[in-house]
Structure 1
Amino acid sequence: MADSNAPFHPIIYVRGYAMTTREQDETTADPFCGFNLGSTVYRATPDKAKPAKKFVFESPVLRLMTDFGYGDVYENGLDIMDSEWEGSIACRSIVIYRYYEQASALLGSGQTPDISHFARGLSELILRVRELVCANAANQLAPEDFRCVLVAHSMGGLVCRAFLQNPELGDEQARASVDKVFTYATPHNGIEVAGMNVPQWLSAADMNNFNRENMARYLKLEALYQKTRRVDWLPEEAFPSERFFCMIGSNRSDYDAALGLSRAFAGHGSDGLVRIENASVWGVNARGKLSSPCATAYTYRAHSGYFGIVNSEEAYQNLTRFLFGDVRVDIWLDIDSVQLPPEIQGKAVNALYQFELLASPRGKRWYLTRRMAEEDSVACRSHQELVDPSNKDARSIYLSTAFLANRARVNPARPSLAYGVTLGVRVPDYEVERKFWPDTHYEGGYLFHDTVVVEMVPPQTPGEDWTASFGWQSSSAGRATESLAYKTLKTGKRVMTVAFGGSSAPGIAGRLRFVVSAWNA
């Protein structure tokens, strides 16, 4: 029997790396391993005479409980892996994978097992959760129909990938039970220290878990690593890339670990520990060719701490829309042409184009994704890549994925789902004959900068089709006034495109491409 509770499957939280014995003990002493931490930030008010308002995020655990009716699985002081625990659990359960207990001096041996051991333990936990969910008659669920979701922070995402990608590290039935995976700030391509990957010999505090050669072994990616020297690949035969989400932080300044040394070594373009370029995953098919990017979103948050990525409204909204939303929108940018300033046309030019993106749903006070030049989270292409007619792939740029939810509409009586997408293309630092060209250069300028509102109305009755409209805010503020055409692919996905830019010089022209599909249908 199909799961009538879908998409509200059990959520298994897999926490991140704990470096020191003290951190491992603190993790073990916390029933929710940090998933229960919230944050309080401030927002400016229109009245300058009044103080800034507090903006409180209560924590992922509490919000999942209050917003979606989830509950924990602790009972009489025991958790479900305890031999004395009896009973069954609901589908809407939050389960904490407490894998650091065996490494803790409080509850374990004080010796940390390797990451492969943690992956096998995750497999055992999933099978235990399946047993207890299927034992609950109210769930009306057979074992073969059971599904769960994995939500992981930092190294926890590598534990999940090792379990999913390496057949030696888990049970096949446990892997088949995973419906979706969401990672916060996971170093999918390892960790850089002063520009170099963590060395293989650095075994102290298990830091070599983030060495790419070691990662290639426990992720079962040896062949791909030899070809690409990267390990941020998700083979489609291991897990579908469309069911995997990467949440990426871009604020290194608020990460205080190791008295600030971590952010100093990680450098710009990081969350204070993980470099932005190493925090996402791409799907590959059986031939080792790219299939599709995993869903990705960016937020100006640090790796962890008071202003960390896990305890943020932005990450929570992406999490819940990915788990429970109704519509998926993959945002792409297709470049048709770039025009150089007239004075340097025909010359050998070097230039780097930076593509910014802000995406926000209607009526909300936060962004679903935020990619800004000052935060080092932009997508980039060189001038040579964009003018090379044989390099079509470089002119097609994946920007982010947004999930939308009917339940989150500001006006429930209004059936449309709407969001705003701000696209900015920075004026590059043109170099002619390897020298900076200063003429007509103004720092921070844009070749293109505007916001488009896209409003979609999903089918309201069987047999009805989608309708969609758009409007550039430079001409119709707050409104989507023009009809948005689309084509339907064989997969059932709909592709909508909006042209931008023009033929002015300097300038850029292309199309925003929205690939829209029903989610959790």
Structure 2
Amino acid sequence: MANKNAPFHPIIYVRGYAMTPGEIDETTADPFCGFNLGSTVYRAVPEKERQPRKFIFESPVIRLASDFGYQDVYEEGYDILDPEWEADPDNKVPSRAIIIFRYYDEASRLLGIGQTPNISQFADKLRLLILRVRELVCKNPANGIGEDDFRCHLVAHSMGGLVCRALLQNPAAEFRAAVKHVDKLFTYATPHNGIEMVGVNIPKWLDMNDMKNFNRDYMAEYLNIKDAFKATGRVDWLPEDSFPSERVFCMVGSNRMDYEAALGMSRTFAGHGSDGLVRIENAALHGWRRSGKNKGSAGDSCAKAFAYRAHSGFLGIVNSEEAFQNLTRFLFGDIRVDLWVDVEQIRLPKPVQDEVLAGRKVSALYQFEILASPRGKLWYLTRRTAEEDSVACLSHEEWMQAPAQRQALYLSSVFLANRARVNPRRRSLAYSMTLGVRVPDYEVDRRLWVNEHYEGGYLFRDSIILEMVPPKAEGDAWQVKYAWQGSGVSKADTAIDAKLLGDSRMEVCVPFGSSGSPGMQGQLRFIVSLWNKEAAGN
């Protein structure tokens, strides 16, 4: 029997790392382990000296309750793991429940013995919690769920994402029995490829305060990916036989300057291109093929989006509107759009092209910026800019390896929801996206080429509005329109055909490009699919 509550499954929150005994005690003393914290400020520009804009975000817990009818499971001072909780026959767990995985309780000096278990033990306790939530949700007749049809969402911050991965990637039968009930995983600022300070990975021998949890050698052990680590030197892999990569979303922060931990030393040591603790390049997951024809190679990337937020704090990524909107659209949304750019032609400045013809080596790094926001909103679902070190990059050398073929570059994923439409009578789902392509400089035989160089210039920059009307019935076609705003058009008015890919997916390709030299030609490629379609018929 299908789960009639889909996609509104119970949400299990898994908090991040607490370093000192005092931080562990503080975590233990907080009923929601920090997920109840909101913020009243929003930094719209990278300059820290600029005053933030007032923007009230009540907290993820309150918004899930007010917007989607979720509720916590605390009653009379107890939670669902306490015998006293179940002793009261009136205590029942609804399908739309928020459960906090309080894994630091036994490590605290307040409620435990002051000794911290390792991550594998945390993962085992998460396994037991999932099975406990399944038992209680299925016992509630109002939910109408059988044990085989129970599903839950895992939402994790920082190290919490590693705890979730230690569960999902464990091949033991008792772990697989719990993993099959996980519907989706959403991570905020998780160091999926470990933590680096001054460019060096945390050493494995650093047992103090369990910091070795972020060492790649140790991570490869508890994440069960020694083969992938040996082949690539990275641990940000999700084996395809453990959990489907399309069911994972990674929220990446790019604002290191507002991370105040360790009196600001953390952001200094983490450096540019980080959220103050986790480097941007280490904060997302990728699929890994452990068997089959392409064994030992990368699979599909997990969905990801970028926000100009710090690792934590009142300008942190968890208590932000941008991350919350990505979270709820990923968990409950209707449409998934994966954004790609296909580079088909690159034109160098004529003097640089002359150097190529003379046999000299030319180097350049093309930076792709993207800003995407839904209709009627004042924030971005994803934000990648050069100033925030979050751009997608393509080197000229990579392009020259296959100049006759289009070079595909993944930019981000956007989830859209019917409930979020400004005008409920409009069936269309729409968002705007600004695409910018920059090349900071060119090098000729490793010497900087500065002739006719203008700092901050773009090869291409324009905004596009994409509007989509999903099919009313199976077999009907999508209706898609777009408009480039640089042409003076204020709304989508150019119809475009969508290429059906099967399995409720389609591909929409929109050409872009600039004339003259230097310049670039290519296409934006939108892979659009129905999301949570298994819930649509319930």
- TM-score band by shorter chain is over 0.9
SS at match of 2:486: coil
Q: CA deviation at 1:38?
A: 0.1
Residue identity in the other structure for 1:359: A
Equivalent pair of 1:155/1:186 in contact (CA under 8 Å): yes
SS at match of 2:489: coil
Equivalent pair of 1:163/1:170 in contact (CA under 8 Å): no
Match of residue 410, structure 1, among 415, 419, 422: 422
Equivalent pair of 1:162/1:219 in contact (CA under 8 Å): yes
Superposed CA RMSD: 1.5
Counterpart residue number, 1:443: 455
Given the alignment of the two structures, is residue 326 of structure 1 paired with residue 334 of structure 2, yes or no? yes
Equivalent pair of 2:42/2:315 in contact (CA under 8 Å): no
Residues 358, 169 of structure 1: alpha-carbon distance in 2 compared, 3 angstrom cutoff: farther
Identity across aligned pairs (percent)?
A: 63
Q: In structure 1, how many angstroms separate the alpha carbons of the residues matched to 2:203 and 2:489?
A: 52
Q: CA deviation at 1:433?
A: 2.0
SS at match of 1:209: helix
Match of residue 255, structure 2, among 251, 254, 265: 251
Match of residue 313, structure 2, among 290, 300, 305: 305
Counterpart residue number, 2:532: 520
Counterpart residue number, 1:262: 266
Equivalent pair of 2:288/2:299 in contact (CA under 8 Å): yes
Equivalent pair of 2:478/2:498 in contact (CA under 8 Å): no
Bigger mean CA deviation after superposition, 347-356 or 177-186: 347-356
Q: CA deviation at 1:83?
A: 1.8
Residue identity in the other structure for 2:375: R
Equivalent pair of 2:41/2:52 in contact (CA under 8 Å): no
Counterpart residue number, 1:48: none
Equivalent pair of 1:163/1:169 in contact (CA under 8 Å): no
SS at match of 1:246: strand
Counterpart residue number, 1:128: 132
Q: In structure 2, how many angstroms separate the alpha carbons of the residues matched to 1:219 and 1:53?
A: 40
Equivalent pair of 2:36/2:60 in contact (CA under 8 Å): yes
Q: In structure 1, how many angstroms separate the alpha carbons of the residues matched to 2:271 and 2:472?
A: 49
Given the alignment of the two structures, is residue 65 of structure 1 paired with residue 69 of structure 2, yes or no? no
SS at match of 2:40: strand
Q: In structure 2, how many angstroms separate the alpha carbons of the residues matched to 1:74 and 1:309?
A: 26
Counterpart residue number, 2:47: none
Residues 143, 418 of structure 1: alpha-carbon distance in 2 compared, 3 angstrom cutoff: same
Q: In structure 2, how many angstroms separate the alpha carbons of the residues matched to 1:135 and 1:519?
A: 29
Residue identity in the other structure for 2:157: H
Q: CA deviation at 1:398?
A: 0.5
Residues 399, 312 of structure 1: alpha-carbon distance in 2 compared, 3 angstrom cutoff: same
Bigger mean CA deviation after superposition, 208-217 or 78-87: 78-87
Residues 452, 255 of structure 1: alpha-carbon distance in 2 compared, 3 angstrom cutoff: same
Q: Which runs of 5+ in 1 are unaligned?
A: 45-50
Given the alignment of the two structures, is residue 167 of structure 1 paired with residue 171 of structure 2, yes or no? yes
Counterpart residue number, 2:374: 361
SS at match of 1:32: coil
Bigger mean CA deviation after superposition, 78-87 or 403-412: 78-87
Counterpart residue number, 1:351: 364
Counterpart residue number, 1:47: none
Q: CA deviation at 1:43?
A: 8.1
Given the alignment of the two structures, is residue 456 of structure 1 paired with residue 468 of structure 2, yes or no? yes
Given the alignment of the two structures, is residue 372 of structure 1 paired with residue 389 of structure 2, yes or no? no
Residue identity in the other structure for 1:477: V
Q: CA deviation at 1:390?
A: 7.5
TM-score for the superposition, normalised by structure 1: 0.96
TM-score for the superposition, normalised by structure 2: 0.93
Q: CA deviation at 1:478?
A: 2.5
Match of residue 279, structure 1, among 269, 276, 283: 283
Equivalent pair of 1:119/1:170 in contact (CA under 8 Å): no
Residue identity in the other structure for 1:455: E
Q: In structure 2, how many angstroms separate the alpha carbons of the residues matched to 1:502 and 1:260?
A: 42
Match of residue 150, structure 1, among 143, 146, 154: 154
Residues 40, 126 of structure 1: alpha-carbon distance in 2 compared, 3 angstrom cutoff: same
Q: In structure 2, how many angstroms separate the alpha carbons of the residues matched to 1:481 and 1:490?
A: 26
Residues 515, 52 of structure 1: alpha-carbon distance in 2 compared, 3 angstrom cutoff: closer
Q: In structure 2, how many angstroms separate the alpha carbons of the residues matched to 1:53 and 1:372?
A: 19
Q: In structure 2, how many angstroms separate the alpha carbons of the residues matched to 1:516 and 1:372?
A: 24
Alignment of 1:173-184 (within 5 A): 173-184=177-188
Equivalent pair of 2:460/2:514 in contact (CA under 8 Å): no
Residues 53, 397 of structure 1: alpha-carbon distance in 2 compared, 3 angstrom cutoff: closer
Residue identity in the other structure for 1:17: Y
Equivalent pair of 1:357/1:421 in contact (CA under 8 Å): yes
Residues 112, 376 of structure 1: alpha-carbon distance in 2 compared, 3 angstrom cutoff: same
Q: Which runs of 5+ in 2 are unaligned?
A: 45-50, 534-538
Equivalent pair of 1:198/1:207 in contact (CA under 8 Å): yes
Residue identity in the other structure for 1:464: D
Alignment of 1:190-269 (within 5 A): 190-269=194-273
Counterpart residue number, 1:74: 74
Q: In structure 2, how many angstroms separate the alpha carbons of the residues matched to 1:465 and 1:130?
A: 39
Equivalent pair of 2:41/2:314 in contact (CA under 8 Å): no
SS at match of 1:517: strand
Q: What is the aligned residue count? A: 514
Q: In structure 1, how many angstroms separate the alpha carbons of the residues matched to 2:425 and 2:403?
A: 49
Deviation string, structure 1 residues 163-192 (Cα, Å, up to 9, x no partner): 000124953221100000000000000000
Structure 1 runs of 4+ aligned residues shifted over 3 Å read 390-393
Residues 221, 169 of structure 1: alpha-carbon distance in 2 compared, 3 angstrom cutoff: farther
Q: CA deviation at 1:52?
A: 8.4
Bigger mean CA deviation after superposition, 166-175 or 348-357: 166-175
Q: CA deviation at 1:337?
A: 1.2
SS at match of 2:65: helix
Equivalent pair of 1:199/1:208 in contact (CA under 8 Å): yes
Counterpart residue number, 2:23: 23
Equivalent pair of 1:120/1:169 in contact (CA under 8 Å): no
Match of residue 385, structure 1, among 398, 401, 405: 398
Deviation string, structure 1 residues 448-505 (Cα, Å, up to 9, x no partner): 0001110000123454321000100011432111112111113331000111114521
Bigger mean CA deviation after superposition, 461-470 or 404-413: 461-470
Match of residue 336, structure 1, among 344, 350, 364: 344
Q: In structure 2, how many angstroms separate the alpha carbons of the residues matched to 1:274 and 1:169?
A: 32
